[in-house]
Chains A and B, each alone.
Chain A
Amino acid sequence: MTLGIETKKLKRTGYLPAFLGGGLLAAAFPLVNMLVRSETFVSLPGDPFQILMDANWQMMAMLNILISICGACMMYHTEYADNGAQKMDVLPVRTGNLFLGKFVIAVLVLAAMVAMETAVLAGCALYWFPAYELTMPDLIKQAGFQWFVTLPTVMLMLVIASACKNMWVSLGIGAILVFTLTIFPQDNLVLSLFPFSSPYQLFAVAKQNSSIPLFLGVCAAETVLFGLIELILQKTRRCVA
């Protein structure tokens, strides 16, 4: 029920178009890359899909993060702009459920984005590497991993957006976090487990280092942790108000 309500609140906010646009933009990236300089890539040794991921995922993951930031800001801007959030506070609902509804919507549209991107990458691999054979289960595992390691980022951003009544503040914090964590070295394992950093992790690299369980476990834990922080925030806000 809360899912339906939360979806309805997003009407006319440009939320879904933003994700669609972002997804198309991210998906266009490998396509343009191949159209312009396919010779550079087709001659490389190794798995074609991984060659494409290596070449494009940094940019695509960054777009996923940026769109998730915008999405979180949009969601809470509709709550705070005309004080709709206060109306929710005086209705008999648990505010935690409303937050959860927002999180579910955010991760579903993210899943659609990642699926779209993976499909385009797979299409490019098949088109420019005719000998290449791709299996569906592998593709799904691949997309699933990239989606899962983005979850803590989505959750943390929603927590930030819900805490700041002013959309520009949360947008600013999000942008600062994106750039801070891209400056840090990418090969540091601990740093790569942080939100805003873990989305750049490649499935193939994690597989090679057999760190897939580590990434899945840590990302799951982070997501739950940020969710709990949100619940505490909601409680304290009521006390200090």
Chain B
Amino acid sequence: MNIIETNQLTKSYGDFTAVSRLNLHIRKGSVYGFLGPNGAGKSTTMKMFLGLTRPTEGGFQIDGKTYPGDRVAILKEIGSFIEAPAFYGNLTGEENLDIIRKILGLPKSSVSDALELVGLAPFRKRLAKKYSLGMKQRLGLAGALIGRPPILILDEPTNGLDPVGIHEIRTLIKSLPQQFDCTVLVSSHLLPEVELMADDIGILNHGRLLFEGTLEDLKTSAKTAGFPTDNLEDTFLAMIDEDNRKRGGAR
């Protein structure tokens, strides 16, 4: 069953199309890796899901609900982290999460729960603006994970983390569906990273979906198309390159 589905989802800024006729299918209980180079439209797509920006055309449905009518109901089910961590610098990490907790109507214990989960517990009393980049990132993640929402939308969650942190967060994300019974949509630039976390993969380039399916499907289709398959990074680069060349030729 698909918990998130888009139907010809399109977003244009003026005459520039950032996201073009996207048809995504995200299975309930899966980790979906959303892959693409800079400017591919990953963040834009996620922002549309969260109601931060309005689709120009097409639509989507999340757990049977549609935007804009069910905006608040959709947001109740999603924990999210978009682009850069968003927080109040004048408050401590703990106070930041407490605001979110109050809005979501969660029990008090959920704050320390979330802090533990992302490894911020020792720094709970420090002002968020005094956090290091990685700590801010972790605070953002904690704000998404608090309350264990059924859907998680994470935009490049390992950005700015150290190698140990990256490993920790990847492992955490991979374990989320079993642990919390949730669905995760996670974006990244790196196929090897997605490979470690995701069940399904969607590859985006210049706003268009090049591929959607499991890792196995990707390998199979890459083989038929004649792309290198022994190293997935190369597969990804070849696919993007091929698409860019086609686009260049069409112009």
Which residues in A have some Cβ–Cβ distance to B below 8 Å? 1, 4-5, 8-9, 11-13, 78-79, 81-94, 238-239, 241
Contacts and interface: CB of A to CB of B under 8 A. Distances in A.
Contacts of A88: 103
Nearest to B51: A238
Given A92-B104, A241-B52, A241-B53, A83 B91 contact: no
A83 B52 contact: no
A238 B52 CA distance: 6
Contact of B91 (A11, A89, A94, A241): A11
Nearest to B88: A84
> How many B residues are at the interface, by size bracket?
20 to 34
Given A83-B86, A84-B89, A241-B47, 19 more contacts: A1-B102, A4-B102, A5-B99, A8-B91, A8-B99, A9-B99, A11-B91, A12-B90, A13-B90, A78-B90, A83-B85, A84-B88, A86-B82, A86-B86, A89-B52, A90-B50, A91-B75, A241-B52, A241-B53
Contact of A84 (B72, B80, B86): B86
Contacts of B129: 82
Nearest to B76: A92
Contacts of A91: 75, 100, 103-104
Interface in B17-36: none
Given A5-B102, A90-B82, A91-B75, A78 B88 contact: yes
B102 to A, nearest CB: 6
B86 A87 contact: yes
A84 B139 CA distance: 12
Contacts, number: 81
Most B Cβ at <10 Å: residue of A5, A12, A79, A87: A87
Contacts of B196: none
B177 to A, nearest CB: 21
B128 interface: yes
A190 B58 CA distance: 49
Given A1-B102, A239-B54, A92 B72 contact: yes
B88 A9 contact: yes
14 contacts: A9-B91, A12-B90, A12-B91, A82-B86, A82-B87, A84-B88, A86-B52, A86-B86, A88-B103, A92-B73, A92-B103, A93-B72, A94-B72, A241-B52
Nearest to B128: A82
Contacts of A82: 85-89, 128-129
Interface string B65-86: 0000000110110101010111
